[in-house]
Amino acid sequence: MSMNNDDYPSSFIQTIINNDIKAGKNGGRVHTRFPPEPNGYLHIGHAKSICLNFGTAARNGGVCNLRFDDTNPTKEEIEFVESIKADVRWLGFDWEDRLYYASDYFEQLFDYAVQLIKLGKAYVCDLNAEEIKEYRGTLTQPGKESPYRDRPVKESLELFNQMRAGEFADGTRVLRARIDMASPNLNMRDPVLYRILREIHHRTGDEWCIYPMYDYAHPLSDYIERITHSLCTLEFEDHRPLYDWILESLGLENRPQQIEFARLNLTHTVMSKRILRELVEKNFVNGWDDPRMPTISGLRRRGVGPKAIRDFCERIGVAKSNSTVDVALLEHCIREDLNMRAGRVMAVLRPLKVVIENYPEGVVEELEADNNPENPAMGSRKIPFSRELYIEQEDFMEDPPKKFFRLSPGKEVRLKHAYIIKCEQVIKDPITNEVAELHCTYDPDTLSGMAGSTRKVKGTLHWVSAPHAVKATVRLYNHLFQSENPGEGELGYQDEINPESLEVLDSCWLEPGLKQATLEDRYQFLRQGYFALDPIESHQDSLVLNRIVSLRDSWVRAQKSGA
Ligand code: ATP
Ligand code: MG
């Protein structure tokens, strides 16, 4: 039942699965799950887990469930459930009819807890949270047994039922596993399995006032769904003995196997849900889908495609030790995805007016421009050329240094897809004395692509025809955090936020074809980067575009220089 695995880079997880299949474990089945807690929006780290879980199942002829780990009603909301479903789907994965909620198993989980009590493997403990912590001991000191540890099974059973019936106040009693207070693994020192908590749950309402702990609910949810390989992040390695203990103690057969992998960390990025939530709540960003956020919804809004994210997850692979991936690799994958499909167009972000003095007034030429030299199948389009144009302010210098090959007084440049022009006169604003306009002449014998247009000049500039151009607002993004590893140095993450993470340019001029741009279209603005319409704020009569990524590929550069 396994597909050919040769196309995929192998991983230690695939090795385990290959061995399991060979040994006939689980009848050769591979069944995984992605288990988000609905307490925030998914981020690029979750994407790694999604790609790994769905990908591992797919390449081994298996299936993957989507399961909401909704055991903690204080922090969970339906908004998050919906966003998570949308994000997983958008990433290109399909859970088919296998959408589950840990809360669907509350009754079963309760029954299993009753069994554990009957087996003498769980007990109701009357210590409060503080006392439990005190009794727990430390890494160097064993814990102390609870005075309630040896209470009769019958008494625990009764108390547990009373807990469920709402007879005790929140926090006054818990159900604990009876394992070993002297275990070197703190997770095994009689961990709490159930707590009393009067909270309305987004699915079960007020039906329950006791809730299972994650460490208890997770292995059993995996078991109930017949998961074979339970892939989770490294911080759960020390919880694995408890995962196994719960299933073994209940005498369950065909148990799922927990396998840990390293979490994704990215430079210049925070991945903690708590911090992401704070960024939103304290208005450091404009919502979970702010294009500067590492959330799936932020990346999507920015214009990143799902293929780029899947490709990135494939390239980083899975390992058993934590490391930090250079965000430049993600950007590289985004460029690779866009390169072949993004139409090349011209857009002037900081305009400077140019008047071609020897070009007749009222005349408009439609010039041929290829849409993507990397992908000739994308064809070409016509762009208007006229007497008045815009070029980029930074493409002109009145008093340039030696190697400035752009426009300056008396110098020539080529306008992309058009003519060679020469700067004849600089018009200044009489009040500010800033350059307001350039008067140029053009050489009619130098039209790009025409016979006789062989004259060469060093610089080529992008431009748009002023009377035809479409006005737009363009947003440029930089890393949200200045430091490479935000939150890890002396400063709190708030002090490391990049004050220049967002630059809004509100009088940009685009070539007229962009009036027809749709939300699906991706563009490369020549020399400026890749852009897409903002799906929320862009409207037909006021275009707003996001820069998805610049053109400078620091990943490729670093690889070439061996860094
Ligand atoms: P929390 O601290 O709220 O539990 P979490 O990031 O673990 O945050 P979950 O919703 O529990 O969030 O995560 C769902 C799944 O995604 C888990 O299996 C988790 O291990 C995995 N995951 C979360 N963050 C990353 C990451 N940075 N890299 C890889 N996998 C991750
Ligand atoms: Mg978690």
Structural domain contains residue 177: yes
**Residue 280 maps to which CATH number?**
2.40.240.10
Residue 268 lies in a domain: no
Of 277, 252, 307, nearest in space to 92 by CA: 307
* Whole-number Å distance between alpha carbons of 160 and 368: 79
Look at residue 267 and tell me if it is in a domain. no
Centre of ligand 1 to C-alpha 36, Å, is 7
Among the listed residues 464, 454, 456, 548, the one whose alpha carbon sits nearest the alpha carbon of residue 507:
464
Same domain, 329 and 352: no
Protein residue with least CA distance to atom 8, ligand 1: 273
Question: Is residue 532, in this structure, part of any structural domain at all?
Answer: yes
Please answer whether residues 363 and 334 qualify as being in contact, where contact means their C-beta atoms are separated by less than 8 angstroms. no
- Total count of residues recorded for the chain: 563
Contact 191, 176 (CB under 8 A): yes
Do residue 230 and residue 374 come from a single domain?
no
d(CA 48, ligand 1 centre) in Å = 10
Report the CATH number at residue 164: 3.40.50.620
How high is the mean pLDDT of the chain?
95
From the CA of 42, the nearest ligand is 1
In whole angstroms, what is the distance from residue 290 CA to residue 144 CA? 49
Residues 156, 288: one domain?
A: no
Answer whether 295 contacts ligand 1 (Cβ < 6 A).
no
Report d(CA 308, CA 313) in Å as an integer: 9
Q: How far is the CA of 183 from the centre of ligand 1 (A)?
A: 27
Domains contained in the chain, number = 3
Residues 457, 359 share a domain: yes
Minimum-distance ligand 1 atom for the alpha carbon of 263: 28
Whether 496 is covered by a domain: the verdict is: yes
Tens-digit pLDDT profile for residues 78-94: 999 999 999 999 999 99
Does the structure show a pLDDT above 50 at 2? no
Instruction: Give me the residue label for tokens 């009489």.
Output: 430
**Separation CA 276–CA 270 (nearest Å):** 7
Contact 33 CB / ligand 1 (< 6 Å): no
Does one domain contain both 284 and 194? no
Among protein residues, the one with the nearest Cα to ligand 1's atom 22 is 46
pLDDT of 492: 84
> Does residue 248 contact residue 255 with C-beta atoms inside 8 Å?
yes
Q: Is the CB of residue 440 less than 8 Å from the CB of residue 418?
A: no
Which residues are catalytic, by number?
37, 263, 273
Q: Is residue 1's pLDDT more than 50?
A: no
Centroid of ligand 2 to alpha carbon of 442 (angstroms): 64
Where residue 426 falls among pLDDT bands split at 50, 70, 90?
A: very high
Is there an atom of ligand 1 within 6 Å of 277 CB? no
DSSP 94-129: --TT-EEEGGGGHHHHHHHHHHHHHTTSEEEE---H
pLDDT digits (tens, 9 = 90+) for 239-284: 999 999 999 999 999 999 999 999 999 999 999 999 999 999 999 9
Q: In terms of domains, do 429 and 290 share one? A: no
Each residue's pLDDT tens digit, 159-172: 999 999 999 999 99
Mean pLDDT confidence for 350-364: 98
- 63-68/257-261 β-pairing: unpaired
The domain boundary, picked from 232, 261, 290, lies at: 261
H/E stretch holding 351 reads strand 351-356
Please report which residue ranges of 226-326 form alpha helices under DSSP H. 240-249, 273-281, 296-302, 306-316
Task: Check pLDDT > 60 for residue 6.
Answer: no
CA of 276 to the centre of ligand 2 (A): 14
The span from the CA of 72 to the CA of 167, in Å, is 20
What pLDDT score does 9 carry?
Answer: 58
- Do 292 and 391 fall into the same domain? no
Quote the percentage of the chain above a pLDDT of 70. 98
Q: Name which residue sits closest to atom 26 of ligand 1, judged by CA.
A: 45
Instruction: For residue 154, give every residue at least 6 positions away whose Cβ sits within 8 Å of its Cβ, in sequence order, or none.
Output: none
Contact 437, 357 (CB under 8 A): no
pLDDT at 556: 80
pLDDT value at residue 487: 83
Alpha carbon of 42 to ligand 1 centroid (Å): 9
- Same domain? For 457 and 507 the reply is no
pLDDT for res 33? 98
Q: Read off the pLDDT of residues 212-223 as tens digits, 9 standing for 90 and up.
A: 999 999 999 999
pLDDT for 3 equals: 43
> Does residue 326 sit in helix, strand or coil?
coil
Testing ligand 1's pocket by substitution, the residue of 11, 46, 239, 316 carrying the most ligand atoms inside 8 A of its CB is 46
Ligand 1: residue of 233, 239, 276 to mutate (most ligand atoms within 8 A of CB) is 233
Are 153 and 66 part of one and the same domain? yes
Average pLDDT over residues 194-210: 96
Determine the pLDDT at residue 5.
44
Nearest to 547 by CA among 508, 495, 494, 496: 508
The CA distance from 563 to 560, in Å, is 8
Q: Give the domain extent around 318.
A: 273-343+472-561
Of ligand 1's listed atoms, the one at least distance from the Cα of 75 is 3
- Both 351 and 337 in one domain: the answer is no
Residues 191 and 327 in one domain: no
Q: Is there a single domain that holds both residue 157 and residue 237?
A: yes
